[in-house]
Each structure stands twice: as structure tokens, then as C-alpha cells.
Amino acid sequence: MAKISVIGSGFTGTTTAFMLAMKGLGDIVLLDTQANENPTKGKALDIMEAGPLTRSSVRVTGTSDYQDTLDSDVVVITAGIARKPGMSRNELCDINAGIVTHVVRQVVQHSPNSTLIILSNPVDIMTYVAFKESGFKRNRIIGQSGVLDSARFRYFVASELKVSAEDVTGFVLGVHGDDMVPLVRYCSVHGIPIQQLLPEAEIEKIMERTRQAGSEIVNLLGNGSAYYAPAAALTEMIESILLDKHRVMPCIVHLEGELGYQDLVLNVPAVIGRQGVEKILPIDLLPEEEDLIERSVASIRRGIDAVLEGKTNKRCSLIS
């Protein structure tokens, strides 16, 4: 049976573990700090006790010991502080870069053949940090944001049109933040382009709400950030990897010439299978879309440059 380790037993990590267990995708290790070991064990036990009701027979282990993650097939990093109201994703970088660096070193030591999925924010920059720190080939380091952003985009379109979200296709590229790029040209309802179904002003509102979706939830919650939808997005990605489904998903991947960019991470349409990123699909962009992507790239490069220049010097290893 496959083995999946989820690093961080907060709302997102625990919800991900529960969704994975319900699908029976593999045995699960839920890991957090030593200070949080008992609550983590309690959450794992709670999921296990739901097994007879969810018809799940996988094993869920709560721990603070990375030895328990040994030889994982997939490792998910959800660890990190959550955004607070008014806090930008880039402001999270000082702490979360240190957390991700520490976790990745443990992953390399204990699961050197795993595929690593990053969720810690700012996820674009954290994916770059993980790629550089791990030494893994780029196909085994994947950032999760495009699946989530695209799901939000599809939901908002479906809600406006009062149709099932299952019949809405579409995806979001670029940075996970204010400069993300919902590609309207590629959005349709059962094959019908949304430009034929909605006026331009409504489409613009949907695009803007998609960009602000994370902040909308942060502000409504008052403390913390979204976790159900991010966990569902992670579960879809893990399922495609472990079952070798070759799903096409927008994911954060290290680029090596795609879209004309080198040594950069960006949400792009990718085929996800047993090897992680099996391939990146080419996509033709209009000049105005290229301009929007360039804004995303500039935002990501600023974050990467801050890390490389040592400006994020308040790092602390919260996962030990």
C-alpha cells in the first residue's frame, strides 16, 4: 500500500489526512511538532475511528518523529503559520521559508524517492525554496495552488450561471495571489465559452473575486484561512499521482524554458501521474495574457530575490 506523509496537523493537514483516508489512497502519517504530538495523535485516532463508518481500512499515524515518515511515496507540506487579516502572502515568507527548509531536509533524509507537494504560503516562493533545497528533479516538486484557484474560479462561474460546477471547465495560471491569471478564453460550460453566457462586466467581477478568494475567507473567518478546498485540491493531486491518472492540472512547477522563462516557478498546465509532473502542456497566450503572466512572474521573482538575498532572516524551525 502507498504511504503518504502530511507535515503539519493544522486544519488543512488534518482535513487532507481525513480525505485521503476516506478515499483509501494509502497509509497516512500525520506529523507535527513535539509540542503538538498528543493532539496530532488524537486527530489520527479520530480519523481511524471513523474508518468503520467511511469504509476505510488505511492506517493513520500521528507523530512528531520523522522516522515514522520513512519511505513515503508522497509528502505534503502544509506546515507554516496561516495568514491573518491584512497580512499578505509575501509577509509570511520570513517564517515559512525556515519551516519549509527544515522539513525538506528531513524529507530528503527519510524519503529521498518521494514526490513532494508544497502548500505552505507564499506557495510559489516556498515551492522554489523546496526545489533548491531538496536537489530533487523538478518533476518531484509540485506547488499546489492552481487546482484550488481554478476550482474557485469554476465555482464562481457556476454560481453566477446557476449551473453545476461539474460542467464548468477553466483554469488559472500565474502566481497564487493578487496577480493570478484566470484564463477566460479557456473557460466554458459544457463546451460553451462563458463569453457567450455572461457579459464582460460579470466576467471581470468573477475574475476579481477569484483573485481575492483567499482573502475573502480569511476576513470572514477572522482567525485562520481556508482549509476544506485546499485539502480537496491536495487530495485530487495525490490521487492522480498514486493512481497514475495523468490528470491535467494547473500546478506550480520549476520552469526550464517553458513560456520563455528559466529558473522560475509558475502555475502552468501539467500532466500529473506516478512520476509527479509527467509533462508541461504548451499553451498559446494572447499578448494581453502574456502581459498578465509577466506581472505574475515579476511578483514571484521579487519574492525569490528576497530569499536569495537573505532578506528573510527571521526564519525559525517550528517543525522539529
153 shares its domain with 294 = yes
Shared domain check, 193 and 126: no
Q: Does the residue 49 lie in any domain?
A: yes
Virtual torsion, Cα 137, 138, 140, 142, nearest 10 deg: 160
**One-letter identity of residue 130:** A
Q: 221 and 180: one domain?
A: yes
- Name the band, by pLDDT with cuts 50, 70 and 90, for residue 315: very low
Segment 10-25 mean pLDDT = 98
Q: Yes or no: say if 265 and 131 are a contact pair by the CB < 8 Å rule.
A: yes
pLDDT band at 84 (very low <50, low <70, confident <90, very high): low
Whether 157 and 210 share a structural domain: yes
pLDDT > 70 in the chain, percent: 94
Is there a single domain that holds both residue 149 and residue 296?
Answer: yes
Binding-site sequence positions for substrate: 83, 89, 121, 152
Q: Spell out the long-range contacts of 17-21 with Cβ–Cβ below 8 A and sequence spacing 24 or more.
A: 17/43, 17/44, 17/47, 17/60, 18/47, 18/50, 18/231, 19/231, 19/232, 19/234, 19/235, 20/58, 20/235, 20/238, 21/47, 21/48, 21/50, 21/51, 21/54, 21/56, 21/58, 21/60
314 is a domain residue: no
Which among 90, 109, 141 is the end of a domain?
Answer: 141
pLDDT value of position 86: 72
Evaluate if residue 272 carries a pLDDT over 90: yes
Number of structural domains, the chain?
Answer: 2
**Statement: residue 177 has pLDDT above 90:** no
Residue 317: per-residue pLDDT: 37
pLDDT at 169 over 50: yes
Residue 312 has pLDDT above 50, yes or no: no
Summarize the annotated binding site as residue ranges. 8-13, 32, 83, 89, 96, 119-121, 152
Question: Would the pLDDT of 319 be above 90?
Answer: no
CATH number at residue 77: 3.40.50.720
End residue of a domain, out of 107, 123, 141: 141
pLDDT digits (tens, 9 = 90+) for 275-308: 999 999 999 999 999 999 999 999 999 888 887 7
Q: How many CB atoms lie within 10 A of CB 234?
A: 27
Asked whether residue 306 is domain-assigned, the answer is: no
Q: Does 82 score more than 80 pLDDT?
A: no
Single-letter amino acid, residue 296: S
**Catalytic residue IDs:** 176
Grid coordinates given for 124: 510559489
Together in a domain, 194 and 107? no
Q: What is the CATH number of the domain that holds 206?
A: 3.90.110.10
If asked whether residues 112 and 214 sit together in one domain, one would say no
Q: Are residues 148 and 137 in the same domain?
A: no
| Inside any domain, residue 82 | yes
The region of weakest confidence among 18-32, 164-178, 184-198, 298-312 is 298-312
Same domain flag for 180 and 201: yes
With contact defined as beta carbons under 8 Å apart, do 293 and 173 qualify?
yes
Note whether 224 and 90 are same-domain residues.
no
Residues 94 and 150 in one domain: no
Question: 220 is in which domain, residue-wise?
Answer: 144-300
* pLDDT score of 191: 96
Domain annotation covers residue 171: yes
